[in-house]
Amino acid sequence: MKIPRSIPAFALGLCLAAIHASPSVAAEPRQTISLDGQWAVAEGTMGQVPARFGHAVPVPGLVDMATPPFAEVGTPRSRDLRQAFWYRRTIVLRGTVPTVATLKVHKAAYGTRVFLNGSLVGDHLPSFTPGYFDVRPHLHGQGATNELIVRVGAFRDAVPDTIPAGWDFEKTKYIPGIFDSVELILSGTPNIVRVQAAPDLTNRLVRVQTLVRNVGTEVRARLNLLVREARSGRVVARARSESISLGQTEERTVTVEVPLRRCRLWSPDDPFLYELEVSSGADTLHTRFGMREFHFDPRTGRAILNGRPWFLRGSNVTLYRFFEDSQRGDRPWREEWVRRLHRRFKEMHWHALRYCIGFPPELWYRVADEEGFLIQDEFPLWHLSGGRHDETWPQGLKADELAREYTEWMQERWNHPCVVIWDAQNETVSPETGPAIQQVRGLDLSHRPWDNGWSPAQAPGDCFESHPYLFQNPDFKLADLARVSGVPRGNALPNAGTNAILLNEYGWLWLNRDGTPTTLTRKIYANLLGADATAAQRRHLYARSLAALTEFWRGHRACAGVLHFCGLGYSRPDGQTSDHFLDLEQLVFEPEFYHYVRDAFAPVGVMIDAWADRFNGGERRTIPVIVLNDLYQPWHGSLRLRLVRDGVVLHQETRRCTVPALGEVRAEFDSAVPVEAGRYQLEATLLNAGSGPVSSLRDFEVRPR
């Protein structure tokens, strides 16, 4: 099939530098040529290539980054302006075209169609998983110029309703574009299609499963495997497969176990990485992995990392919402910014993240591997339940298609040690996701657990997400926590309580970055602070309340993880949620959030387990205080309780405190309530030489006798 042309000769409105490559299969069995950079782009219909490409756009990126800009990109009105965007660039190969030439488009929205030198190469409709295209029949070498054109739909409805399109109740824009990298992969045959590296800590080895494909005449081959330390390059292991015979157009899966007797484990505290090299003689593939195992214990409900319990503390990144933030710019594709973002998250004592309702560019997973984060990787499905589900769920989307896309997702991500949970969907009751999970879960040799949103968990070792949004009731007050169970039972799940609980959303107190309430929280702040409250007052209330909620959910030890919502999102006047940044470039958190919520996530944390906000003057009260230890070693320090009024300490008591590894202690302080009416504060603080203080605060009012 040839591209339909509007004119005989292609009119190029924008000159781009060509990619030059000199493949030499004998000397270097594989070349991966990055096609990232500036591309030409034009708008038009789905069926005809534009006559002129008068705009430039970065790849990876989104179409709203084009210069000069297009109008109304990603809005519903954009449907009236164009059907598609067409990307163009040229490639020059100085040498001969090798036996295998594959174009990989890591992620592009919405729907990808590829042409090379005027011929249709193929389509890949999914927007969130990589597309692979065999371009060898159309690729010219020996210095010839190759014209590469990629078409993407202009809006999410460019793909049929049999394909997930990333619906999100909070989004107003669905911005198209090639939002992840593009590569040209050249090799000889037999070529290595993919590799899965599955650590086995019990036997101190990595199990390597390699899919090998032969596109030439019958050949015998043997795989050579080599493991290096990723940072130092030191070789730590070698192995070889048995000799295999591959007929013409035959592919074979080969499994080899590589011993790593003195391996160093990967964890958030020590994100140590290995590099695996697998060679067929005509092709060589490199990937990284970590010696890490993760699962949920069905008996205790705990997360188990490398054989030991691990309490997950963290947040969420809703990157596809951030895509429409007015201050986004090019930040999601700048490695130094992405790395600084994750390091800022670490400063909050977070080591776990849910990449929520969508997958970021592959760069983010590499950074998470290196910085030490445990990622709950969530497929972009959010349709709630009941009538709202019926309105937004693509009626043609069935389990088989989901399984196909889940497979592409898993194959792309399964060597990342950071990815520890496959998350099939968010907050949705659907009959399709469960069967899709069952079709694909056996593909993962590391046996990661799955989260199935608000639909039933699919195995005893899976988790379920719980979203106890107490402040969704605008009349709720922190004092009401005294009547709330510390065990969130999920969202009417039939098996709630039998699987590990992952509390990855709570709060419902969002403020925009300027301190104004969001559309969901206006009534809450009006009820709690009054209509004339200042941004400073709202920020203080938000930070203190979120800290108290975090202490509450952590303190009851009922959840495998507590992940706040959210660490990165959007901010807009008509938005529903938001994050806590005041300066996105410098990644400056709102100071009160940083001060109070950071303490609430401290590895050794403290909670005043008293919630009453009114006492009678002069009465005696027992104040319970819980100290938690998420560390693998005992904590020794001091626990201090103070009674404060207007910054003046009226009374204090300090005790020595020892908390066992992964344990907790409960202390009780007997105290007299002041006689004088007014506003007071209880402050429990952990003190320990060599580390800063960590505090829990409760405000209360004394009523006259």
Of the candidates 412, 38, 374, the residue with the CA atom closest to the CA atom of residue 193: 412
Q: Is residue 286 classed as helix, strand or coil in its secondary structure?
A: strand
Q: Is the pLDDT of residue 686 over 60?
A: yes
Query: What are the pLDDT digits (tens) for 148-197?
Result: 999 999 999 999 999 999 999 999 999 999 999 999 999 999 999 999 99
- DSSP readout, 224-263? EEEEEETTT--EEEEEEPPPEEE-TT-EEEEEEEEE-TT-
Whether residue 491 is predicted with pLDDT greater than 90 in this model: the reply is no
Q: Could you tell me which residues are beta bridge partners of residue 115?
A: 120, 149
φ, ψ (nearest 5 deg) of residue 405: -75, -35
Tens of pLDDT, residues 89-148: 999 999 999 999 999 999 999 999 999 999 999 999 999 999 999 999 999 999 999 999
The yes-or-no verdict on residue 23 having pLDDT over 70 is no
* Short-list 549, 527, 662, 668, CA closest to 600: 549
DSSP 515: S
| pLDDT tens readout for residues 440-452 | 999 999 999 999 9
CATH number corresponding to 19-187: 2.60.120.260
Percent of the chain with pLDDT over 70: 94
What pLDDT shows up at residue 4? 45
Decide if 191-289 and 606-703 have a common fold. Answer: yes
600-633: pLDDT as tens digits: 999 999 999 999 999 999 999 999 999 999 999 9
E-strand stretches of 504-647: 561-568, 581-583, 588-589, 604-608, 614-616, 620-629, 635-645
Q: What pLDDT was estimated at residue 12?
A: 37
Mean pLDDT of 22-40: 76
Q: Domain segments of the chain: what residues?
A: 19-187, 191-289, 294-599, 606-703
Q: What is the pLDDT of residue 28?
A: 56
83 or 387, which is more confident: 83
Provide the 3-class DSSP secondary structure of residue 472: helix
- Domain 191-289, CATH: 2.60.40.10
Per the omega criterion (within 30 degrees of 0), is the bond before 463 cis? Answer: no
Average pLDDT rounded to a whole number, residues 539-547: 98
Q: Residue 544: is it exposed, middle or buried by C-beta count within 10 angstroms (0-12/13-18/19+)?
A: buried
Distance from the Cα of residue 305 to its chain's centroid = 19
**Is the pLDDT reported for residue 257 higher than 90?**
yes
Q: How many CB atoms neighbour CB 211 within 10 A?
A: 15
CATH number of 294-599: 3.20.20.80
Q: How far is C-alpha 312 from the geometric centre of its chain's CA atoms?
A: 14
d(CA 366, CA 342): 11
Res 689: pLDDT: 60
- pLDDT in the model for residue 10: 32
Band of pLDDT at residue 497, cut at 50, 70 and 90:
low
Q: Per residue in 669-688, is it b (16+ CB within 10 Å) or e — as a string?
A: bebebbeeeeebebbbbbee
Confidence of residue 493 (pLDDT cuts 50, 70, 90): low
On whether the CB atoms of residues 44 and 3 are closer than 8 A, the answer is no
Q: How far apart are CA 97 and CA 560, in angstroms?
A: 52
**Apex 62 CA angle, 125 and 31, nearest 5:** 70
What is the reported pLDDT for 26? Answer: 37
273 vs 488, higher pLDDT: 273
Q: Which CATH architecture has domain 606-703?
A: Sandwich (2.60)
The number of residues in the chain equals 705
Tokens for 358? Answer: 């969508």
With a cut of 50, say whether residue 8 has pLDDT above it: no
281-336 pLDDT per residue, tens: 999 999 999 999 999 999 999 999 999 999 999 999 999 999 999 999 999 999 99
Query: Among 56, 35, 18, 215, which residue's Cα sits nearest to residue 134?
Result: 215
HSE, side-chain direction, 13 A CA sphere, residue 86: 25
Six token digits for residue 248: 């013409």
